[in-house]
Each structure stands twice: as structure tokens, then as C-alpha cells.
Amino acid sequence: MQKMNWEEKTILVYLLVLAIGVTLSNAACFLEPLKPGVSDGEIVGCSDSNGELHEFGSSWRTTDCNDCSCDRSGISCCSSFVTPVDYDEEKCVSIFNNETCTYKVVEKDNHSKECPVRGWVG
């Protein structure tokens, strides 16, 4: 049996880390089949649900905080944010910021005081 060289070991470690990261991720993702985006009679990208053309290989963030990309199979999108799930809901409230695509958990009676969050999903 042949020993692995350092390059093979590095690739193996990288793949293991990637596999664990994907397994632990709870991001909400979806795929829209290709709706061809045409320019000058040639298919150059994807047409999204708003009719906007995105070139193959491009990436963007939507107004509802999804990170999307276009390739020849279509548009793939995943949520760009995590949602707080383990905090004192009687005392605190979560507020979503559409500008930054983030949640902040604050006291209901005093929004300047942040609440501790013990769990996030997304």
C-alpha cells in the first residue's frame, strides 16, 4: 500500500472539513431551473422571477436576503442569515434588519438592551 503525500493529505483534510461544514449547515436553499436569459439572440445567463438577466457565473444578494448565483443549470439561492431560536421570548423580541440581513434580539421594553441568544438556525 502506497503512503499519501502531503498534497493528498491536504486535499483529504479539506474535503473532510467541507463535508462536516455542509452537514452542520441548516441554510435554506433552493434551485430555480434555467430560464434562459437572452441577449442579441444568444443565451448569456439566467432570467430570474422578476425578469432580470444575470450572466452565467454571476452572484448577487436579493432584496429578501438570499445569496444567489447563476449557472447553466439555473439559479441557486441560499438564505444569507441565521435566525435566533433559543432566547427568552417572554422578555425579548427578535428584530430583522433588511439592510444588513441580520437579526438582533433585544428586550421588549428597552430595545437598546440586547438579550443573550443560545441558539441560531440558518
Q: Provide the phi-psi class of 68: left if phi over 0, else alpha when psi is between -120 and 50, else beta.
A: beta
Beta bridge partners of 74: 33, 71
CATH fold of 26-79: Complement Module; domain 1 (2.10.70)
Q: pLDDT tens, position by position, for the chain (122 residues)?
A: 566 665 554 555 444 434 443 334 456 899 999 999 998 899 999 999 899 999 999 999 999 999 999 999 999 999 999 999 999 999 999 999 999 999 999 999 999 999 999 999 98
Q: Which amino acid is at 121?
A: V
Distance CA 61, CA 102 (A): 13
Domains of the chain, by residue range, sit at: 26-79, 83-121
Assigned CATH for 83-121: 2.20.25.590
